[in-house]
Amino acid sequence: MIRFDTQGPGRILIIGHRGAEALAPENTWAALQQGYESGADLLELDVQLTRDREAIVFHDFTLQPKLGDPRWVREMTWQELQTLDVGSWFDPAFATERIPRFVDVLDWARGRIALQVDLKHGFVEPRDDRLEMKALDLIEAAGMLDQVVISSWDHVALMRIQARCPQVVLGVNLRPRVPDPLGAIAPVNARWVSVPWSQVDRGTVKRLQDAGIKVSLCELFTGGYRQARHLGVDAVTAPDPRAARQALEQPVHETDSQP
């Protein structure tokens, strides 16, 4: 069993962002493998649905940002998407990279490494629950409820998952800073919260932790891992897991106690 919800005292978990986006094109097999080999405790990845309801690992809602293609992912079939080169934009050496199916990633990760699955709904009707139910179906079928955190900006989707499967670990994404983070999280019954490092203080982190919620810093992409130690968080999201671990394990100096 992969245990991501317990850790040694003072040890901050490393979450490889989109696999390891600093080392390989995000959300590809190469990035997932690099994240695993770089010592991440969890791998974060993005999941959305194709037109024919295949769950795929891809972040952007259109192909424009990386591939210069204006088509919407949700309007394309899996057959169309699997032919795309999603690696050359990062480096020509990754020209053979293709979009992974979520079911295949689950099969690869089972017994190997925990996952943070970030649901990307895009523009959907309020009653549309296809993405969260499809993701949950695949996670349950893979026998990986104890190896996955499901996170989202969409609190309604998380509440639907909670109602159907109370034992799965849910993670709320919070941004910007809210006056009552515990109140914002309560309806979801989440056990994780992801928050930008610039939007949280040590007192808030402690209040969340005292309520049994693990706090993960995201958008910590400037090498400022000293701030993570100062805040006392449980996890950080990192584009390069090995570099993050090395930074976090540097000897603590007097300045590390400063905000």
Confidence of residue 238 (pLDDT cuts 50, 70, 90): very high
Confidence of residue 47 (pLDDT cuts 50, 70, 90): very high
Q: What is the residue-averaged pLDDT of the chain? A: 91
- Summarize pLDDT for 245-258 with one digit per residue, the tens: 998 888 766 445 44
Q: What is the residue-wise DSSP string for 71-139? A: -BGGGS-HHHHTTS--STTT-GGGTT--PPBHHHHHHHHTTT-EEEEEE---S--TT--HHHHHHHHHH
Task: Summarize the confidence of residues 45-72 as an average pLDDT.
Answer: 97
Predicted model pTM: 0.93
Task: Summarize the confidence of residues 41-51 as an average pLDDT.
Answer: 98
Q: Is residue 256 part of a domain?
A: no
Domains: count for the chain: 1
Q: Is residue 209 part of a domain?
A: yes
Bridge partners of 196, per DSSP, are: 218
Confidence of residue 110 (pLDDT cuts 50, 70, 90): very high
Q: Which residues are catalytic?
A: 17, 59
Q: Is residue 194 part of a domain?
A: yes
Q: Is residue 44 part of a domain?
A: yes
- Summarize pLDDT for 200-212 with one digit per residue, the tens: 899 999 999 999 9
The answer to whether residue 157 scores a pLDDT higher than 80 is: yes
Q: Is residue 174 part of a domain?
A: yes
d(CA 8, CA 23): 27
Please report how many Cα atoms fall inside a 13 Å half-sphere around the Cα of residue 119, on the Cβ side: 28
Instruction: Read off the CATH number of the domain in which 87 is found.
Output: 3.20.20.190
- Could you tell me if 181 and 208 are in contact, meaning their C-beta atoms sit under 8 angstroms apart? yes
Question: Given the DSSP bridges, would you call strands 13-16 and 214-218 parallel, antiparallel or unpaired?
Answer: unpaired
Q: Is residue 244 part of a domain?
A: no
Domain span including residue 216: 13-222+232-238
Q: Is residue 7 part of a domain?
A: no
Residues of the chain above pLDDT 70, percent? 92
Q: Is residue 118 part of a domain?
A: yes
What's the pLDDT score for residue 259? 45
Vertex 188: Cα angle to 182 and 193 (nearest 5): 55
- Summarize pLDDT for 167-186 with one digit per residue, the tens: 999 999 987 778 889 998 99
d(CA 99, CA 26): 10
What's the pLDDT score for residue 1? 43
d(CA 35, CA 42): 9
